Amino acid sequence: MKTNKFKISRIIILVGVTLLGYSCSNRESKYALDSENIMLEDTGETPVLASIESEEKTEEVTLLDSDRVKTKKNNVDTKLKIIKNANCRIKVKDVEEATVLARKIALKYQGYISDERFTNTNYTKENRFTIRIPQDQFDTVLDSVCGLAEFVDYKNISTIDVTEEYIDITSRLKTKLDVKERYETILRTRAKTVEDILKTEEKLSLLQEEIESAQGRLKYLSNKVSYSTVQVDVYQTIIPKEEPAEYQPRFLDKAKQGLSFGWSIIENLTLLLFYIWPLLVLGGVIFVYFKWVKK
């Protein structure tokens, strides 16, 4: 009887240990899964949670597809992004007047002159300046400025299509912002340990740097697309005057020299009196003495 009770007790203990081990194993597995979900990947475009894995992978494949222009048409501006630049060199009658007129043309079409460099030599006057102008007024301003010329040395126009880069950065930026928002939610609601919190914050910091970099690039591209650049070199030819072989002063110059010379004589004579005053005193004494002796 005692043997049966002992066997039953052993069986109960064995079953209890087995159930306890299974429970601990499930708990550790659940914690490992939560930690894995909280851990961030190297970039903001990879999956964050198992529930959004298929969505992120699909979006990433779409971004890497060759036809990026068609990606997210409802959220991304697919309008062509063209950067226009031009430079020209023109000969004018008067550099100062041409510069003033070019500035008025820029202001008329909501533009401005960003920098200006003026040079003047014995043979030429030249001014180089850069006009920033709204893209839709690019051709009008360029033609108006070249219309000031007597002769156009050259006129070059270049365009850069940044549409693909703009859409690519915009799409990736949206992905990073979505990922950042999800991780912030995880940080507030699911991160329990100090290690998980620190790792999450570290990856959020990296995501923020990437987001700011992408935003800065988009801002730069938008500025370049919105305002075109026209660099203008205007110059005029100067015929140098022949220098005389010998300098001949004019009448007024001679008169000034005469007045200066006469004044210098008076000044020197006055100073001479101060230098020889002892002789003058001695001469006066001798004169008075002889005058009284004769009397």
Instruction: Kindly report, residue by residue over 182-193, the tens digit of the pLDDT.
Output: 888 888 888 788
In percent, the amount of the chain with pLDDT more than 90 equals: 26
Asked if 150 contacts 98 with a C-beta cutoff of 8 angstroms, the reply is no
Greater pLDDT, 129 or 244: 129
Asked if 126 contacts 95 with a C-beta cutoff of 8 angstroms, the reply is yes
243, two tokens: 């220098």
| Rounded CA separation 292/295 (Å) | 5
Question: What are the residues whose beta carbons fall under 8 Å from the beta carbon of 47, sequence distance 6 or more?
Answer: 41, 53, 56, 57
Query: Scanning the structure block, which residue is given the tokens 């299509």?
Result: 161
Q: Is the pLDDT of residue 48 over 50?
A: no
Instruction: Kindly report, residue by residue over 198-253, the tens digit of the pLDDT.
Output: 888 888 888 889 999 999 998 988 888 889 999 999 999 887 666 656 667 787 88
Q: How many residues does the chain have?
A: 295
What are the DSSP E strand ranges found in 196-291? Answer: 227-237
* pLDDT value at residue 52: 36
Question: What are the residues whose beta carbons fall under 8 Å from the beta carbon of 69, sequence distance 6 or more?
Answer: 78, 163, 164, 167
Asked if 84 contacts 157 with a C-beta cutoff of 8 angstroms, the reply is yes
Query: Scanning the structure block, which residue is given the tokens 């009284």?
Result: 292
What are the CA-CA distances from residue 290 to residues 187, 294, 295 (Å)?
125, 6, 9
Residue 58: what residue type? T
122, two tokens: 């014995």
Nearest to 238 by CA among 53, 95, 27: 95
Least confident among 127-136, 221-230, 274-283: 274-283
pTM of the entire predicted model? 0.52
The number of CA neighbours under 13 Å toward the Cβ of 134 is 7
Q: Coil, helix or strand for 94?
A: coil
Q: Which residues pair with 133 in a beta bridge?
A: 228
